Amino acid sequence: MLIQVCLYFYCKFLWRCLKFVMRKLTGRCELQRICYNTKPGASRTMKIETSLKDSKSKLLQTSVSVHFDAIEKTIEDIMELKKINPDINPQLGISLQACLLQIIGYRNLIADVEKLRREPYDSDNPQHEEMLLKLWKFLKPDTPLESRISKQWCEIGFQGDDPKTDFRGMGLLGLYNLQYFAERDAAAAQQVLSDSLHPKCRDITKEEISKFSKAEWEKKRMDKAIGYSFAIVGINITDLAYNLLVSGALKTHFYNIAPEAPTLSHFQQTFCYLMHEFHKFWIEEDPMDIMEFNRVREKFRKRIIKQLQNPDMALCPHFAASEGLINM
């Protein structure tokens, strides 16, 4: 343990020495070198974020958590601290502002999402009830809901006759996401719902057939495709999106697609994308039964995380709910 601590401080000392030498050689501070040598997007913003957090200056450390209204003043203070003339280096201030908007916006987005997750569904709240009934109308526009407490809710993937009990894990966040998907991309949401209720077997390639014994192939050929509960899976994918956000994994995506601060709409669009992709992944995996859900979900999670490790990655939405996304 002592050796690790010593090694940490030794490396930190070497890094500060290297930064000092680079400034003397280039005439630029680390923030300038990052902004001038790294393209806009996640690559630049994540480097700026690390540089600010690791700085020995209190001003730089706290700059990633200031209020939006204080960003311009904070940049002025940083330029003054680093002895950078804004008239000679006007692009630096613009680049730093864009990065800080994304960094602070991401922190605020976590707070907004967490607030929704912590708010329980309240059947006595007219707003909550209205959202739930809208979800039914968007998913089943041609089928009237006979009553608020009804077995019909199982038709869109809830577990019982009252959906409020299914929102306990993710609170209102699960309902917000489901309604957003059903409203903003109604055709895709209704198709995913239909497929989840009436799943179709995917085509099996010749290479896959060759891996089965004759008995296994006969069993596989006779097996029916396995569906899933649309609403319950939507709440589960909400949990996945939430954990990707809180862990910081979604920074790559948001810093590449949101030119300024990522918002709740960006998060909901990302949920739509994950729902769409998970549905395709479920069909590709062709599980033997619903008990394999956790295995399939974990495999899907690892695939998304691997994609997000690429600093140039932006999850590529291709449906109506994401038409507003901007790729930098």
| Highest-pLDDT range among 6-20, 190-204, 248-262 | 248-262
pLDDT value at residue 16: 53
Mean pLDDT of the chain, nearest integer: 85
Grade residue 232 by pLDDT with cuts at 50, 70 and 90. very high
C-alpha 128/C-alpha 189 separation (Å) is 21
C-alpha 43/C-alpha 39 separation (Å) is 7
Asked if 112 and 173 touch (Cβ cutoff 8 Å), the reply is no
Grade residue 89 by pLDDT with cuts at 50, 70 and 90. confident
CA torsion sign, 91 to 95 to 101 to 107?
A: negative
Share of the chain above pLDDT 70, in %: 79
Asked if 250 and 244 touch (Cβ cutoff 8 Å), the reply is yes
Share of the chain above pLDDT 90, in %: 68
Asked if 34 and 302 touch (Cβ cutoff 8 Å), the reply is no
pLDDT value at residue 29: 83
Grade residue 324 by pLDDT with cuts at 50, 70 and 90. very low
Write out pLDDT tens, residues 148-196: 999 999 999 999 999 999 998 899 999 999 999 999 999 999 999 999 9
Write out pLDDT tens, residues 256-289: 999 889 999 999 999 999 999 999 999 998 888 8
Asked if 109 and 262 touch (Cβ cutoff 8 Å), the reply is yes
C-alpha 128/C-alpha 131 separation (Å) is 5
C-alpha 155/C-alpha 197 separation (Å) is 8
Average pLDDT estimate for 67-75? 95
C-alpha 95/C-alpha 317 separation (Å) is 26
pLDDT value at residue 290: 86
Asked if 225 and 199 touch (Cβ cutoff 8 Å), the reply is yes
Task: Classify residue 203 as exposed, middle or buried by CB count within 10 Å of its CB (0-12, 13-18, 19+).
Answer: exposed
120-141 b/e (C-beta count within 10 Å ≥ 16 → b) = ebeeeeeebeebbeebbebbbe
Phi, psi for residue 125 in degrees, rounded to 5: -95, 115
Asked if 185 and 320 touch (Cβ cutoff 8 Å), the reply is yes
Residue type, 278: F
Average pLDDT estimate for 217-244? 80
C-alpha 186/C-alpha 321 separation (Å) is 9
Asked if 45 and 96 touch (Cβ cutoff 8 Å), the reply is no
pLDDT value at residue 277: 95
C-alpha 321/C-alpha 275 separation (Å) is 12
Q: Which residue has the higher pLDDT, 11 or 96?
A: 96
- The overall longest dimension of the chain from CA atoms, in Å, is 77
pLDDT value at residue 318: 46
pLDDT value at residue 140: 95
pLDDT value at residue 247: 97
Task: Give the DSSP letter string of 175-193.
Answer: HHHHHHHHHHTHHHHHHHH
pLDDT value at residue 211: 53
Closest-CA residue to 71 (of 44, 97, 45)? 97
C-alpha 109/C-alpha 234 separation (Å) is 20
How many CB atoms are closer than 10 A to CB 185? Answer: 24
Grade residue 3 by pLDDT with cuts at 50, 70 and 90. low
SS3 breakdown of the chain: % helix, strand, coil, rounded to 5?
70, 0, 30
Q: Which residue has the higher pLDDT, 16 or 308?
A: 308
